[in-house]
Structure 1
Amino acid sequence: EEMARRTKKLLEQFAPGSIVEVQGAEDGFFGSWYSAQVLEAKEARSIIKLRVSYQAFREEDGSTWEDWVELNQVRPLPPQHKHDFLRHLPVSAPLEVLCKEGWWEVVYSGVNGSKYKVVAPLYDVHHTVTETQLRPAWLWLADTYTWDVKLKPSASTPPARVTLPKAHKA
């Protein structure tokens, strides 16, 4: 009964029409989050899959790219962050940077004038960006349907990830 209640709540959270972020799961996209609209949600044996339409990607004919993704790759849109969140940021703090229409996991490496330096450890790529291209490394806690901010980078887990209820882990 508890599992059925959680499944129902998750299906409501990610109902068709919802705008979500999908975690990149292919080579070259690990550590990224892209906006997508939920088109359909299916549940079978306590596993939820969503058919999504990516806002950033197009097929050759110009239509939006659609794909089926598992719930552990999806989170709601993160909340607005405080405008001064960068003010007291320590070096190596995890962040997300807007690049190529997606949010990518990076760590803070310093300031360059009015811009911020970040590095994507997975790819050893360095960027110098404006404040508007940065946001906290959000952590979606599906067990409690709440957001948290990852405060320390970790080599074993990416800065932004989805933590699913135990009943929904594959």
Structure 2
Amino acid sequence: MAHTETLIDILKARINRMAFKKQDTTTLFQRGDKVEVASQEWGYIGSYYTAKIVCSIGDSHYRVRFKNLVNDDKSDLLEEIVMASEIRPMPPRHKTLLPENICLNDKVDVFDKDGWWVGFVSGRDEQSYYVYFPTTGDNVAYPLQLLRFHQEWNMGNWISSN
């Protein structure tokens, strides 16, 4: 049991470093660019939401319009001003996820609650993959089509963690 706890602690530390990491801000985005915005809100740390750039505001902020999030009265898509360090380009399509490509402890993103959440594959049954989310402590089953391999934006390049 001690070995499992140690592994979980290591995975939690990796996720926390990644979740609270500021994005590389050397990329300048243009109006209409599709991006992902890292949530900095408690309870949503470790999640990314698809958006489009509406406009830049000064040197360090952008107005974005989210693809899947709506405003409080649900009348329109949500627009917010976010720091450049919270934005990254859309990740490229990674190799197709096939059951034989996924291993225990692989870092993945799961599409849930209108965004992509970072976690680790913790198990599998006939139809689902269990993903552990260190930022929330949840371990949830998902079908394969809701998973993608996690990639990090670093110094202008995408780096695959798998």
Whichever structure has more helix as a proportion of its residues is 2
Alpha carbons of 1:86 and 1:49: their partners in 2 closer, same or farther (altered >3 Å)?
farther
Match of 2:14 in 1: none
Q: 1:37 to 1:91 in 2, by over 3 A?
A: same
For residues 126 and 158 of structure 2, the distance between their equivalents in structure 1, rounded to whole angstroms, comes to: 31
Q: Give the length in aligned residue pairs.
A: 137
- What code does the residue aligned with 2:45 have? F
Give the match for residue 50 of structure 1.
Answer: 62
Residue 126 (structure 1) aligned with residue 154 (structure 2):
no
Map 1:79-90 onto structure 2 (within 5 A): 79-84=92-97, 86-90=99-103
Runs of 4+ in 1 over 6 A off after TM superposition: none
SS of the residue corresponding to residue 87 of structure 1 reads: helix
* Aligned residues with identical type, % of pairs: 27
- Report if the CA contact (8 A) 2:69-2:114 is conserved: no
Q: Within 5 Å, which residues of 2 pair with 1:9-158?
A: 10-11=27-28, 14-44=29-59, 48-59=60-71, 60=73, 62-84=75-97, 86-141=99-154, 143=155, 145-151=156-162
Normalising by structure 2, report the TM-score.
Answer: 0.77
User: Once the 2 structures are TM-superposed, how far is the Cα of residue 101 of structure 1 from its aligned partner?
Assistant: 1.3
CA RMSD, aligned part only?
1.8
Q: How does 1:151-170 map to 2 (within 5 A)?
A: 151=162
Alpha carbons of 1:61 and 1:124: their partners in 2 closer, same or farther (altered >3 Å)?
Answer: closer
2:41 and 2:95 map into 1 onto residues whose CA distance is 31
Shift, 1:61, TM fit: 5.2
Distance 1:54 1:65 in 2: 6
For structure 1, the 5+ residue unaligned runs are: 1-6, 152-170
- TM-score, structure 1 as length reference: 0.74
- CA shift digits 1:136-168 (9 cap, x unpaired): 111012x2x2211124xxxxxxxxxxxxxxxxx
Structure number with greater CO (CA < 8 Å, separation at least 6) is 2
User: Partner amino acid for 1:38?
Assistant: I
One-letter code aligned to 1:73:
E
